[in-house]
Amino acid sequence: MIKIERIYDYPKGSVGFRILVDRFWPRGLSKDKVKVDLWQKDIAPSNSLRVWFGHDEKKWDGFRHRYFNELDKNTKSVKTIRDKARQGSITLLYGAKEERFNNAVALKEYLEAS
């Protein structure tokens, strides 16, 4: 099972293996205070795609298409997350304020579609 959670929120229930999927560490959080089992920054969208998207809902479909193309080429990082998901429940962590249109949501969709 793959869940999504904002890293700033307190973990809910059984959280499983927690993977931060952002390129940058979230502001204001110390690494020793947050439960993160793996920081998979290489799975995050490229800087140019991240900046272009800017969590703009109107660009969501274009973002997903471009991000999926990046993920198709990032087989090592995708395999790491898929392997963890096969072992048990995982939680994809993100730092964005936007809950519906962010890279963790797109990544979950990508992982579940294949």
> Does residue 13 have a pLDDT over 70?
no
The pTM of the full predicted model, rounded to 2 decimals, is 0.93
Domain residue ranges of the chain, discontinuous segments joined by +: 2-113
Q: How far apart are CA 68 and CA 45, in angstroms?
A: 9
Calculate helix-pair angle for 60-73, 75-87, nearest 10 degrees: 90
Name the burial class of residue 106, with classes exposed (0-12), middle (13-18) and buried (19+) by CB atoms within 10 angstroms of its CB: buried
Q: How far apart are CA 57 and CA 87, in angstroms?
A: 33
**Do 92 and 5 touch, CB atoms closer than 8 A?**
yes
Query: What does the DSSP assignment read for 5-41?
Result: EETTSPPPS---EEEE--SSPPTT--TTTS--SEE-G
> Does residue 41 have a pLDDT over 90?
yes
Tens digits of residue pLDDT in 54-101: 999 999 999 999 999 999 999 999 999 999 999 999 999 999 999 999
**pLDDT band for position 18 (cuts 50, 70, 90):** very high
